[in-house]
Amino acid sequence: MSQVVTKGKNETGAFERVRILLDMIKFEHTIFALPFAYVGAFLAKRGIPDFWTNFWILIAMAGGRTVAMAVNRIVDLEFDSKNPRTKERPLVSGKINKKEAWLMVIIAAIFYFVACHNLTPLAFKLSPFVLFVLIFYSYTKRFTSLCHLFLGFAIGITPTAGWIAVKNSIALIPLVLSLGVMFWIAGFDILYACQDVDFDKKEGLFSIPSSVGVKRAFLISSLFHLIAFLAFLITGILSRLNWVYFLGIVAVFVLLLLQRRVITPDDLSKMNIAFFRLNAAISVILFLSTTLALISGT
CATH number of the domain to which 102 belongs = 1.10.357.140
Answer whether residue 179 shows pLDDT above 90. yes
d(C-alpha 151, C-alpha 65), whole Å? 12
Q: Which of 35, 32, 57, 43 is nearest to 165 (CA)?
A: 57
pLDDT at site 31: 64
- Of 92 and 155, the structure prediction assigns the larger pLDDT to 155
Contact 158, 181 (CB under 8 A): yes
Range of the domain at 22: 2-296
pLDDT at site 13: 67
- Torsion sign over Cα 6, 10, 11, 15: positive
**Alpha-carbon separation of residue 151 from 2, 72, 113, 145, 188 (angstroms):** 50, 12, 21, 11, 11
- Of 292 and 33, the structure prediction assigns the larger pLDDT to 292
Q: What are phi and psi of 104, to 5 degrees?
A: -60, -40
> Per the structure, how many domains does the chain have?
1
d(C-alpha 96, C-alpha 27), whole Å? 16
Answer whether residue 116 shows pLDDT above 80. yes
pLDDT at site 286: 95
Q: What are phi and psi of 267, to 5 degrees?
A: -145, 100
Mean pLDDT for the chain overall: 88
> According to the 3-state scheme, what is the secondary structure of the chain?
CHHHHHHHHHHHHHHHHHHHHHHHCCHHHHHHCHHHHHHHHHHHHCCCCCHHHHHHHHHHHHHHHHHHHHHHHHHCHHHHCCCHHHCCCHHHHCCCCHHHHHHHHHHHHHHHHHHHHCCCHHHHHHHHHHHHHHHHHHHHCCCCCCHHHHHHHHHHHHHHHHHHHHHCCCCHHHHHHHHHHHHHHHHHHHHHHHHHHHHHHHHCCCCHHHHHCHHHHHHHHHHHHHHHHHHHHHHHHHCCCCHHHHHHHHHHHHHHHHHHHHCECCECCCHHHHHHHHHHHHHHHHHHHHHHHHHHCC
Contact 255, 282 (CB under 8 A): yes
pLDDT digit string (tens) for 209-259? 999 999 999 999 999 999 999 999 999 999 999 999 999 999 999 999 998
Q: CA angle, 241 as apex, 237 and 243 as ends, to 5°?
A: 100
pLDDT digit string (tens) for 126-160? 999 999 999 999 899 999 999 999 999 999 999 99
